[in-house]
Amino acid sequence: MSFNDIFKSSFLENITSVSILDMAIALVLAFGLGIFIFLVYKKTYSGVMYSSSFGTTLVALTMITTVVILAVTSNVVLSLGMVGALSIVRFRTAIKEPLDIAFLFWSIAVGIVLAAGMIPLAVIGSVIIGVILLVFVNRASSKNPYIVVIRCDGHDSETKAKKFLDDKTERCTVKSKTAQKGSVELNLEVRLKDDNTDFVNEIANIKGVNSAVLVSYNGDYMG
């Protein structure tokens, strides 16, 4: 093959550059692994509002990456053009959850590895990654932080509520305090000893406490 033959491109000649069987196998595997990634994402999601469209995006992204890499590996000229085309693409959608970036990169990586013909690496690697995510993300909820919002009428009720939380929780830290005439609002970060949240009802019954609210806290939407 001469230097000119490498960079010679013809539309009709490119039709048979990738066989139908190779395309079918790669896309079926990409769809299957994309579904697996989607199920792991759904199982490990811990954000505020679940988006089913993002899960569908993970499946589509795996298949699209596979198609692109199959085309790139079959033609040198196309690979050079693809690099230039993709370099000007800009995505403006904000990623709200840090873990979503890992799932996006996982989908792209699986598509690349499948299109390169490394099927065992794609399958076994995805299974190992999925198991690791399931183990570490779905850890005991009692270790996750919570925010307790307490509204009371003065210093005495504030002190009683704070002392009660110190006794009932593993750790209690004041995050913010708002004082107005005849009213005090406390935001406290707590770590529970177990999954029992009945202590919130007991706080609300303390004399001088007007209300007590327990909120799951992941550090992203409350300070």
Query: Domain residues of the chain, as ranges?
Result: 3-137, 141-216
Residues 6+ apart with CB under 8 A from 149: 185, 186, 187, 211, 212, 213, 215
- Cα–chain center distance at 99: 3
Nearest-angstrom CA–CA distance, 32 and 101: 20
Query: At residue 223, does pLDDT exceed 50?
Result: no
Query: At residue 9, does pLDDT exceed 60?
Result: no
Give the architecture-level CATH label for domain 141-216.
Answer: 2-Layer Sandwich (3.30)
The amino acid that residue 202 corresponds to is E
CA atoms within 13 A on the CB side of 54: 19
**Beta carbons within 10 angstroms of residue 66's beta carbon:** 27
User: In this predicted structure, what is the pLDDT of residue 45?
Assistant: 82
Mean pLDDT of all residues in 50-73: 86
Query: At residue 6, does pLDDT exceed 90?
Result: no
The pTM for the full model equals 0.63
Query: At residue 34, does pLDDT exceed 90?
Result: yes
Query: At residue 4, does pLDDT exceed 50?
Result: yes
Query: At residue 221, does pLDDT exceed 50?
Result: no
Query: At residue 210, does pLDDT exceed 70?
Result: yes
User: In this predicted structure, what is the pLDDT of residue 10?
Assistant: 55
User: In this predicted structure, what is the pLDDT of residue 91?
Assistant: 60
Please state, for a pLDDT cut of 70, what percent of the chain lies above it.
Answer: 74
Nearest-angstrom CA–CA distance, 31 and 203: 51
pLDDT tens figures, 174-200: 888 888 888 889 888 888 877 788 888
User: Rounded to the nearest 10 degrees, how much is the dihedral formed by the CA atoms of 168, 171, 176, 181?
Assistant: 30
